[in-house]
């Protein structure tokens, strides 16, 4: 029997960043591995400039996601950003440098950002034997987080408590138990879907993998914004008789 830390994520808007190419910042349909690890690290109080601690933390947990929302929508927000035109003779180290060193070279860039609306997800975390933090420690951190938590962007604060709890059993069992015990009354009409699950543990046996996908959301370096790939599995969750 395996132990999992299970918690819920819900907000009117969430943005799970995909690879940023061009002027549109797309969002994934489910929370990415890097986003969940970042949320857990923030709750524990790991600072972004603590590269060694973050690298150690990011390697020792398996994540699983069960989307529950049947009415999820998405929107695209339009932004204009002031940026300096390309000039190889100048170097800008901060945002203040960009706006103050050469104000005559400032131009406007149009960008668009995508958001998921009314998304509701259950997250299950398992730990390897040499994990730097126990699931119990992370459970306590989610109850009293060190830093403010948000879903992908600072403009996406949580709309409900995370309601973390430690559950024992198979991954299928803990997701089914969480659905019975954790769904708030105000979300019962929203949480009518949820037959699909996504996970990254190659040894998972209670769920049957129907698809494998290579994703690029495993953090390597926060300072250099580097990520590497991992295999994400997906399959159907079967309700028990």
Local confidence pLDDT in tens for the 241 residues of the chain: 799 999 999 999 999 988 766 677 888 889 999 999 999 999 999 998 899 999 999 999 999 999 988 777 888 888 787 777 777 777 878 878 877 877 777 878 788 889 999 899 999 999 999 999 999 999 999 999 999 999 999 999 999 999 999 999 999 999 999 988 887 766 666 666 568 899 999 999 999 889 999 998 899 887 787 889 999 999 988 766 5
Is there a domain that residue 107 lies in?
no
| Total domains in the fold of the chain | 1
Domain of 62 in residue numbering reads as 2-20+27-71+116-236
pLDDT given for residue 189 in this prediction: 63
Residue 110 lies in a domain: no
pLDDT at 188: 65
pLDDT value at residue 186: 64
Q: Specify if 171 maps to a domain.
A: yes
What's the pLDDT score for residue 170?
95
pLDDT tens digits for 33-89? Answer: 999 999 999 999 999 889 999 999 999 999 999 998 877 788 888 878 777 777 777
CA distances to 27, 37, 88, 225 from 219, rounded to whole Å, are: 17, 9, 30, 8
Q: Evaluate whether residue 211 is within a structural domain.
A: yes
Whichever domain contains 150, its CATH number is: 3.30.70.2660
Which helix (H) or strand (E) is 59 found in, with range?
none
* pTM confidence score: 0.86
Are 200 and 162 a contacting pair, CB within 8 Å?
no
User: Contact 237/195 with Cβ under 8 angstroms?
Assistant: yes
User: Has residue 102 been placed in a domain?
Assistant: no
pLDDT reported for residue 57:
95
Both structure tokens of 181: 């015990």
Residue 159: exposed, middle, or buried by beta-carbon count in 10 A (0-12, 13-18, 19+)? middle
Torsion sign over Cα 143, 54, 2, 203: positive
81 within some domain: no
Does 111 fall in a domain?
A: no
Q: What is the pLDDT of residue 21?
A: 67
pLDDT at site 20 = 67
Structural tokens at position 10: 């819900």
Give the residue among 37, 5, 9 at the shortest CA–CA distance from 139. 5
């Amino acid at each position: 029997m395996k132990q999992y830390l299970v918690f819920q994520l819900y907000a009117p808007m969430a943005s799970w960043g995909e690879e940023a190419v061009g002027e549109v910042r797309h969002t994934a349909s489910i929370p990415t591995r890097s986003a969940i690890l970042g949320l857990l690290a923030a709750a524990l109080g790991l600072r972004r400039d603590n590269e060694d601690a973050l690298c150690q933390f990011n390697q020792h947990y398996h994540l699983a996601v069960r989307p529950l929302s049947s009415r999820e929508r998405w929107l695209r927000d339009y932004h204009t950003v002031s940026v300096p035109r390309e000039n190889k003779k100048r170097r800008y180290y901060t945002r203040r440098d960009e706006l103050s060193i050469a104000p005559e070279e400032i131009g406007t860039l149009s960008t668009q950002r995508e958001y998921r609306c009314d998304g509701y997800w259950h997250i299950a975390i398992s730990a390897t034997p040499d994990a730097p933090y126990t699931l119990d420690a992370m459970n306590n951190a989610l109850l009293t987080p060190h830093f403010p938590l948000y879903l992908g962007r600072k403009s996406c604060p949580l709309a409900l408590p995370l309601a973390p709890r430690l559950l024992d059993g198979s991954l299928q069992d803990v997701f089914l138990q969480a659905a019975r015990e954790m769904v708030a009354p105000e979300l019962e009409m929203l949480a009518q879907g949820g037959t699909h699950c996504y996970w990254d543990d190659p040894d998972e046996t209670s769920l049957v993998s129907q698809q494998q996908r290579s994703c690029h959301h495993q953090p390597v370096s926060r300072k250099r914004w580097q990520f590497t790939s991992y295999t994400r599995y997906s399959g159907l969750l079967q309700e028990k008789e």
